[in-house]
């Protein structure tokens, strides 16, 4: 799993990154809020650890920006203060949990693992983008007028695209997330075609676009 770490105290940020990588996570580490916002807008993360007090943009403001953009990646906020106001402002902005410095590395790992488990279990029955709703339980897509049932892998693929809407996602990332046991790239291309046809058939205002270069990148966005 991949995490984003942001803290303007470089020694702390690097130490957190080292602890998490030693525990089996892949980490990107940045040192201010603006860099965290930029990194989060173009990369896909399973979770984020953000310090509240950072230059250029606070951790709370980063969370507000992410949630306004529809990014529901779990966020753990770090604060050197114990004041209730910091905790309340962070949670109200959309953060999932907080941890007060200094902290034990065991508690840090426990909090992160709890966030990731909650995301997996409580992802919600449905997710909506544009005029299109994906119901994860009923395995169907719908808008106000039409609905259509999807196959299991179609649901997983569209769910991942909708969770990471407006981001360019590499073909290898999709293969790893949706087919962890292995899948031919041609099969994924086939499923992309199925999804495009089904989105069009219900009158969805979403489209799956592909950019080719050294690799294939996909993006789910609203038409126009």
Predicted confidence at residue 18, as pLDDT, reads: 95
Q: What tens-digit pLDDT sequence spans the chain (224 residues)?
A: 899 999 999 999 999 999 999 999 999 999 999 999 999 988 889 899 999 999 999 999 999 998 888 788 899 999 877 666 777 888 888 888 888 888 899 999 999 998 888 765 545 688 899 999 999 888 999 998 899 999 888 988 999 999 888 888 888 888 888 887 766 667 788 888 999 999 999 999 999 998 877 678 899 999 97
- What are the angstrom distances between the C-alpha of 32 and each of 18, 39, 193? 18, 11, 40
Cα angle 79, 75, 221; round to 5: 140
CATH of 126-222, one of 3.90.1170.50, 3.10.180.10, 3.30.70.20, 1.10.10.10: 1.10.10.10
| DSSP letter string, 156-220 | HHHHHHHHTTTS-EEHHHHHHHH-TT---HHHHHHHHHHHHHHHHHTT-SEEEEEEESSSEEEEE
All residues at 6 or more sequence positions from 115 whose CB lies less than 8 Å from its CB, including other chains? 47, 74, 75, 76, 96, 97
Pull the structure tokens for residue 135: 């119901």
Predicted confidence at residue 51, as pLDDT, reads: 94
Which class is 2-121 in CATH?
A: alpha beta
């Amino acid at each position: 799993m991949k995490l984003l770490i942001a803290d303007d105290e470089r020694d702390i940020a690097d130490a957190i990154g080292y602890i998490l990588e030693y525990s089996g996570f892949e980490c990107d580490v940045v040192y201010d809020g603006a860099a965290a916002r930029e990194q989060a807008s173009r990369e896909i993360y399973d979770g984020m650890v953000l310090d509240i007090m950072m230059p250029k943009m606070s951790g709370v403001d980063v969370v507000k920006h992410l949630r306004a953009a529809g990014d529901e990646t779990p966020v753990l906020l770090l604060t050197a203060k114990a004041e209730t106001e910091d905790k309340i402002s962070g949670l109200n902005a959309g953060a999932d949990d907080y941890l007060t410095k200094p902290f034990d590395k065991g508690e840090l790992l426990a909090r992160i693992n709890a966030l990731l488990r909650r995301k997996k279990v409580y992802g919600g029955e449905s997710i909506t983008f544009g005029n299109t709703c994906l119901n994860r339980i009923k395995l169907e897509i719908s808008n106000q007028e039409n609905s259509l049932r999807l196959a299991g892998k179609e649901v997983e693929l569209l769910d991942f695209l909708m969770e990471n809407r407006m981001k360019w996602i590499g073909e290898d990332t999709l293969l790893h997330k949706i087919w962890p046991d292995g899948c031919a790239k041609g099969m994924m291309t086939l499923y992309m075609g199925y999804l495009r046809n089904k989105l069009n058939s219900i009158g969805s205002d979403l489209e799956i676009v592909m950019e080719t270069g050294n690799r294939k990148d996909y993006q789910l966005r609203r038409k126009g």
